A and B are shown apart, each in its own frame.
Chain A
Amino acid sequence: NAGVTQTPKFQVLKTGQSMTLQCAQDMNHEYMSWYRQDPGMGLRLIHYSVGAGITDQGEVPNGYNVSRSTTEDFPLRLLSAAPSQTSVYFCASKGSTTRTEAFFGQGTRLTVV
């Protein structure tokens, strides 16, 4: 059981480039979300999805797009990378009930130069 799988683990982009961070879960979870983690800031929610075909914005959505065509996959797209998007990105999935824990991927460390 792989849980939540994120790829790539590391990425360096030039300013203005675009890329997609992949996230897949095999737990049949309804809820999936993307966070970015910066020093001293904890995890901030970028976008989330409560099921296939449904997405919504989190706390810091600007510069990112998401889609949820299947239950398993929730890719995060950077449209035109900026140095301010240098961060560690975590994908998480969660079951539908209140007390279930969020399972996190191992993260993608992104550097924009």
Chain B
Amino acid sequence: TQLLEQSPQFLSIQEGENLTVYCNSSSVFSSLQWYRQEPGEGPVLLVTVVTGGEVKKLKRLTFQFGDARKDSSLHITAAQPGDTGLYLCAGRHNAGNMLTFGGGTRLMVKP
């Protein structure tokens, strides 16, 4: 059982569509990060959210941290084929500095 559950696991959409990916937990995290991973590469950080209710925007990507700091979402507007990849959320507990990762959402955007 993973502490962080991501949904959906797989998502295939057409270019131009909007989508939302969810990251849920029963645990409270002091901070949460979203990473994007391409085939054959390690994950690369997109954003870190720290405050409950925080919203951060990165071009067409909008990240939100839940008020209770137990969940987060990633919304992509007008998806493009370059958005294709594996999106991972990772949370950090107060007790340590190590990250706990969700199972990932594999996104495919078709032209």
Contact = CB atoms under 8 A, between A and B. Distances in A.
A48 B103 contact: no
A43 B88 contact: yes
Nearest to B43: A104
Contacts of B45: 101-102
Nearest to B47: A101
Interface string B80-111: 00000000101010000111111110000000
Given A31-B97, A45-B100, A99 B42 contact: no
Interface residues of A, number: 26
A104 B101 contact: no
A105 B101 contact: no
Interface residues of B, number: 26
B31 A92 contact: no
B24 interface: no
A41 B1 CA distance: 10
Given A40-B9, A42-B88, A43-B88, A107 B97 contact: no
Nearest to B31: A98
Given A42-B2, A99-B31, A104 B92 contact: no
Interface string A15-45: 0000000000000000101010000111111
Contact of B50 (A35, A99, A107): A99
A44 B1 CA distance: 11
Q: Closest 3 CB pairs between A and B?
A: A104-B42, A101-B45, A42-B101
Interface of B: 2, 4, 6, 9, 30-31, 33, 40-45, 48, 50, 88, 90, 92, 97-104
Given A42-B88, A42-B104, A106-B41, 16 more contacts: A4-B42, A41-B2, A42-B2, A43-B88, A43-B101, A45-B98, A45-B99, A92-B42, A98-B30, A99-B31, A101-B48, A102-B33, A102-B45, A103-B42, A106-B42, A107-B40
